[in-house]
Amino acid sequence: MAVPLLDIANHNRPYFLKMKETLSQWLESGQYIGGEHVTGFENEVSELLEVKDTIAVSSGTDALLLALMALGIKTGDEVICPSFTFFATGGVVHRLGAIPVFADMLPESFNIDPRDVEAKITSKTKAIIPVHIFGQMVDMEAISSITEKHKIPIIEDAAQAIGATQNGKRAGSIGDYGSFSLYPTKNFSAFGDAGFLTTQSEELAKHARILRIHGMDPIYYHSEVGGNFRFDPIQGALLRIKLPDIDSQNLKRDENAKFYQKKLGNHSEVSVGYSEGSDARITLPTTDEGNQHVWHQFTIRVHGEGEREQLMGWLRERQIGCGIYYPLGLHDQECFKSVTEGKPPLPVTEKACKEVLSIPIFPELTENQLSEVSDAILGYLDN
């Protein structure tokens, strides 16, 4: 039985009937920019994520860029972010002429290492972007205690972590801004590009709203330069139909993760959770104390030279989807060579990039499919 890494159309299919109706009403409405589907979407997201305000924008990348612009990040400023993340996190910093300073990660959670963040702070550090990678929140108490000491703002990159919580607080509700992507592969996904920013500050919300449309306030008057980061109302209209199901779908992902932890974790060569020096051949990811993980990815580590590529080939021969997120840290990317020249390596990130492999975790997986994936991995270990 083939098991894809993702099945986006299948995920959206239960909503199609209602969506087709909404689409035809929207076409008739003539409201193709702004309006009730944008503000309604923003209000509903604010309520769900327990934030003061939400500013819907054109993509997750634009959400990050807009947050940095609203915080006044400029040429020569330093912004600390992880190396083990999607390119956008570091790319937006560079686009503003600022310097991305890459911190190493924790091997257990794949999240940024707060100790390395603290070590990399200088007088030029003007923001920190912790990324809640794969759906699990960064230790925000540790990050906040650093930023409070140094008076540095936080942009939570929660692109992969909508709905995740830490000690009862939602991702995106702690930092100065929370930044989200609605890219079609995300846990809560649009029908094209879209994203949003969250904030608990009225002032920061107002600033981001003005910069979202060319820094215009009032109409045709510009005291600063923004961009066109508008969110399409058609995305809002369709997303509002799916929004009430975010938590239940995330819980289904968590059940799937528990299935793998139980079924694969019984094998003597599998370790549930990372431990340095272990002789396990495969390590399964776990959830840190106090976190509710939303499993955007279920990312295992396959130890040993060439082992990950062999397992990948084995799974693909059996038509089981899998993918590498991420094969190369941002600090090792060609385009950042000028930024990282002469800087020390990030050994934890570099090791993870050689070992990570993500396997199917989407909420619609059936028990048969979960067994198929697990049996294939167990078969590989016993081969």
Ligand X SMILES: Cc1ncc(COP(=O)(O)O)c(C=O)c1O
Closer of 183 and 188 to ligand X (Cβ): 183
Q: How many Å apart are CA 383 and CA 378, to the nearest integer?
A: 8
CB 46 within 8 A of CB 92: no
CB 45 within 8 A of CB 208: no
Q: Shortest gap between Cβ of 269 and ligand X (angstroms)?
A: 31
- Give the CB-nearest residue to ligand X: 60
DSSP 14-66: GGHHHHHHHHHHHHHH---SSSHHHHHHHHHHHHHHT-SEEEEES-HHHHHHH
Of 158, 204, 153, which Cα lies nearest the Cα of 175?
Answer: 153
Q: How many Å apart are CA 177 and CA 315, to the nearest integer?
A: 39
Q: Shortest gap between Cβ of 2 and ligand X (angstroms)?
A: 25
Amino acid at 153: P
CB 187 within 8 A of CB 165: no
Q: Shortest gap between Cβ of 313 and ligand X (angstroms)?
A: 26
Closer of 160 and 369 to ligand X (Cβ): 160
Task: Tell me how far CA of residue 85 lies from CA of 81, 105, 149, 159, 335, in angstroms.
Answer: 9, 10, 26, 10, 15
Closer of 89 and 165 to ligand X (Cβ): 89
Q: Shortest gap between Cβ of 198 and ligand X (angstroms)?
A: 14
- Residue 105: half-sphere exposure toward Cβ, Cα within 13 Å: 27
CB 330 within 8 A of CB 83: yes
Q: Shortest gap between Cβ of 186 and ligand X (angstroms)?
A: 7
Closer of 253 and 281 to ligand X (Cβ): 253
In the complex, which residues of this chain contact ligand X (CB under 6 A)? 59-61, 85-86, 88-89, 131, 157, 159-160, 181, 183, 193, 195
Helix (H) or strand (E) holding 339: helix 337-340
Closer of 159 and 257 to ligand X (Cβ): 159
CB 331 within 8 A of CB 86: no
Closer of 86 and 259 to ligand X (Cβ): 86
Q: Shortest gap between Cβ of 236 and ligand X (angstroms)?
A: 15
Q: Shortest gap between Cβ of 293 and ligand X (angstroms)?
A: 15
Q: Shortest gap between Cβ of 160 and ligand X (angstroms)?
A: 5
Q: Shortest gap between Cβ of 316 and ligand X (angstroms)?
A: 23
Phi, psi of 176 (to 5 degrees): -60, -45
In what side-by-side order are the strands of the sheet with 155-157? 53-57, 195-199, 177-181, 155-157
Closer of 181 and 287 to ligand X (Cβ): 181
Closer of 96 and 216 to ligand X (Cβ): 96
Closer of 89 and 374 to ligand X (Cβ): 89
Q: Tell me if residue 135 falls in helix, strand or coil.
A: helix
